[in-house]
Amino acid sequence: MPYDTVNPANGQVEYSLELMDAAAVEQRLAAAAQAFPGWAATPLEQRGALLRKVGAQLREQRDAIQRVMTAEMGKLRKEALAELDKCAAACDYYAEHAAEYLREQAVVTDAQRSYVRYEPLGCVLAVMPWNFPIWQVFRFLAPALMAGNVALLKHASNVPRCADAIRKVLADAGVPDGVFDVLHIDNDQAAEVLRDARVAAVTLTGSERAGRSIAANAGGQLKKCVMELGGSDAFVVLDDADLDATVAAAVKSRFDNAGQTCIAAKRFVVVEAIADEFVRRFVAAAAERRLGDPQDEATTLAPMARQDLRDELHKQVQASVAKGATPLLGCEPERGSHAGYPASILDQVAPGMPAYDEELFGPVAAILRVADEAEAVRVANDTTFGLGGSVWTADRARGERVACQLQCGAAFVNAIVKSDVRLPFGGIKRSGFGRELAEHGIHEFMNIKSVYVA
C-alpha cells in the first residue's frame, strides 16, 4: 500500500512510497541478526573510527540532507543545518568517550577478582518521530552502535527520505551491511517486528499514545525499552528576572522548530508582579516571527509538519478560548499556507483548558499567572508530564533552589532546556522512562554483567 509525503509549506506531494512486504522485512531482520556477532566483536577503536566517518559524511552531505528535511517536514534551512551539525558532533563524542564509558569496573568483594562489564544486547528497534528527523535517530544510534548493538529504524511515515538519507550516510561511511537498516513499515508491522525473537529491545520517541502501545508490546515480550514521550515544560519567570534576556529566550524556546519540540517551553508560569510587562514584551517579540518559505533565510517561523497537526492544534486553541483563555497574538491558521500556524499567545490560561492540561505541540504559548514563587512551583508541577523545565531569575542560588523542586528530567536555570550529548536526557511521569545521551545513554541497551572469580 503506497503513502505520500506532502511538503507542508505548499501542499505538494514530495514522494510516494510503498510499504515493505513481509519478505523485505524478513530480509532486514535476518541481516541484522547475522551482522550482530561480528559487529559486537569489532574492536571498540574500529567502531569509533567508523562512527567518526559517519560524522564526516553527515557534514559532507549536510546540504543535500537539509533539503530533504525541509521538503518533508518543513524545517527551516538554518535549523536543519544546525541539527545535522549536532548529529555529527554526537558521533565524534561517542567515538571519543565510549572507551571510558564501557571500561570494566573493578569492585572489591570477597572474590579474588570481581568486576562489572558491559555487553551489547543485540538488535534494537528504533521507532522515531518526524520533528527532529535526523537528531532523534542519532541521539540513540551513535551510542547504540558504539556499544556494539545493531539497529533497525522505523521512522515516521512523513519523513521516509530522511530515513533513507541516514542509511546512505552510514553506508557511505563504510558501516557493514546489516548493522543499520531502515524499515518502511506501518505501526502494525512494527508491532510484529518487536515481537520477533531477533529483536532484543526497542526505543521510541513520540506521543504518549504511541509509547503506551510500544511499551505494552515490549512488556509482553519482556524486552528492554526506552520511552521519550511528550512534554509540557514550564518556563518559570520569577519577579527578579532580567526581562530582556528572558523574553528573548522565551521566544526562541517556544517558536523554534514551529514549536514542535518535546522540550520546548509551553507553559509560561509568570509571577504576577512582572507578568504584565513580561507579556507585553513577549507578544511584541513573538509578533516578529514570520512564516514563509523554509528555504529562505529570512523566514523565522517554519510551517507545522502536517496540515492535520495544524488543525488539531487549532482545536486545542479554540477549546481553550471557549473556556476563558484570552488570545493575545495569532491563534488562527495562516491564510495561504498549507500547514502554517502563526506565533500565538494565550493569556489567562487555567486548569480545565487544553492549553493547561495538554501538550500544545506547535507555536502556541500559554501564560499562567501566579502570585509568588511557591505558587509558581506548584503550578509548574501541576502536569502529567515531566520532561523539562526552566527558571528565570537574577539570583542563581534562588533559581537552583526552584529548579531542584521541579518534577522533571531536566531543569535549567537562566537557559533554554535543550539536549546536550554530555548530559542524560529523558523524563518522568507521562514523559516516559529511561535515558539517552551521556554515559547513561550508552548503558541503556547493554547487559550490565557482574563477573565474580572466587
Q: What is the dihedral of CA 361, 365, 370, 374, to 10 degrees?
A: 50
pLDDT band at 269 (very low <50, low <70, confident <90, very high): very high
Q: What integer is the mean pLDDT of 48-66? A: 99
Residue 337 CA to residue 9 CA, distance in Å, equals 6
> H or E segment at 114?
strand 113-120
Q: What integer is the mean pLDDT of 13-17? A: 90
**What pLDDT score does 1 carry?**
62
Copy the grid coordinates of residue 208.
504518549
**What pLDDT score does 335 carry?**
86
Which among 94, 159, 165 has a CA at the least distance from the CA of 128? 159
With 80 as the cut, is the pLDDT of residue 2 above it?
no
Domain ranges of the chain: 2-229+431-453, 233-420
> What's the burial of 305, exposed, middle or buried (CB within 10 Å: 0-12/13-18/19+)?
buried
CATH classification for the domain delimited by 233-420, as one of 3.40.120.10, 3.40.309.10, 3.40.50.300, 3.10.450.50: 3.40.309.10
Q: What integer is the mean pLDDT of 345-362? A: 99
With 80 as the cut, is the pLDDT of residue 413 above it?
yes
For the stretch 192-221, pLDDT in tens is 999 999 999 999 999 999 999 999 999 999
Whether domain 2-229+431-453 has CATH 3.40.50.300: the reply is no
Residue positions annotated with a catalytic role? 228, 262
Phi, psi of 355 (to 5 degrees): -65, -20
Helix (H, G, I), strand (E, B) or coil at 429: strand
Strands 123-127 and 199-205: parallel
- Alpha-carbon distance values, 360 to 134, 267, 317 (Å): 22, 9, 9
With 80 as the cut, is the pLDDT of residue 95 above it?
yes
Residue 301 CA to residue 66 CA, distance in Å, equals 16
pLDDT band at 3 (very low <50, low <70, confident <90, very high): confident
